[in-house]
Amino acid sequence: MNKEKGLLVVLSGPAGVGKGTVCGALRNEDTSIQYSVSATTRVPRAGEVNGVNYFFKSRDEFEDMIEHDLLLEWAEYVGNYYGTPIDYVRETINNGQDIILEIEVQGALKVRERFPEGVFIFLMPPSIAELRNRIVGRGTETAEVIDKRMTIARDEIEMMKKYDYVVENDEVQLAVERIKAIVKAEHCKRERLIEKYKQLVEVE
């Protein structure tokens, strides 16, 4: 019987919505889901570890990855590059394991062009006011950058119509349960299983 491929799950949404927190909680509960570490040129925040949270690159290093087509997607956001190294994603899916990408909206839409069979989930804040509070609460951006992020966030929320699912991050645990339910349902989709099971009705 044909081996079922893993799912490529793409989780994105506006900055400050809690993508990293939700993704981390999901990984703690479901260790079968692999996490794709993104590359970025932004400066590490306190506590972030190279190769765990991100692969931190110089602009020259990142542009070399672009030139050699080593990224599934990449985007420039608020003056920094972000991107997904492609090899690990392909290997994980082909080995039958699910992998989750936690990326910006621009990057998610690029992935959709190359992997339309992926599962695309938009993480939504309870409100714009709450989103701003979360960004301010991080204490890592200037007022100017926060204003820029909020302008971008409103545009990004308009893009949710290009996603398969929308999950509100009102409470982290509730968001995690919704994502787990989506992944379970996607594994049962007819189009994902038809090749695996059509052998049952083939006449030898």
pLDDT at 127: 87
pLDDT at 114: 86
Q: Which of 159, 134, 144 is nearest to 13 (CA)?
A: 159
Question: In this structure, is residue 45 part of a structural domain?
Answer: no
Q: How far is it, in rounded angstroms, from Cα 71 to Cα 80?
A: 15
pLDDT digits (tens, 9 = 90+) for 120-152: 999 999 888 888 887 887 777 788 888 888 888
Residues 41-55 have a mean pLDDT of 90
% pLDDT > 90, the chain: 47
pLDDT at 81: 94
Number of domains comprising the chain: 1
Kindly indicate the confidence band of residue 204, based on its pLDDT and cuts at 50, 70 and 90: low
Tokens, residue 96: 């039958």
Structural domain of 161 = 8-36+98-201
Question: In this structure, is residue 83 part of a structural domain?
Answer: no
CB 39 within 8 A of CB 71: yes
pLDDT digits (tens, 9 = 90+) for 74-97: 888 889 999 988 888 988 999 999
Look up tokens 């204490």; give the residue. Answer: 139
CB 79 within 8 A of CB 40: no
Question: In this structure, is residue 128 part of a structural domain?
Answer: yes
34-36 β-sheet, strand order? 34-36, 99-102, 8-12, 119-124, 165-168
Residues 171-181 have a mean pLDDT of 96
CB neighbours of residue 18 within 10 Å? 19
Question: In this structure, is residue 104 part of a structural domain?
Answer: yes
pLDDT at 95: 92
Kindly indicate the confidence band of residue 203, based on its pLDDT and cuts at 50, 70 and 90: low
List of long-range contacts for 180-189, beta carbons under 8 Å, 24+ apart: 180/26, 180/29, 180/30, 182/119, 182/121, 183/7, 183/9, 183/33, 183/98, 183/119, 186/7, 186/119, 187/4, 187/7
Q: How far is it, in rounded angstroms, from Cα 153 to Cα 74?
A: 18
Question: In this structure, is residue 78 part of a structural domain?
Answer: no
pLDDT at 110: 86
pLDDT over 60 at 190, yes or no:
yes
Question: In this structure, is residue 25 part of a structural domain?
Answer: yes
pLDDT over 90 at 168, yes or no:
yes
Question: In this structure, is residue 179 part of a structural domain?
Answer: yes
pLDDT over 80 at 53, yes or no:
yes
Helix/strand/coil for 73:
strand
pLDDT over 60 at 60, yes or no:
yes
Mean pLDDT of the chain: 89
pLDDT over 60 at 50, yes or no:
yes
pLDDT at 103: 86
CB-facing half-sphere around the CA of 178: CA atoms within 13 A: 17
CATH number of the domain enclosing 166: 3.40.50.300
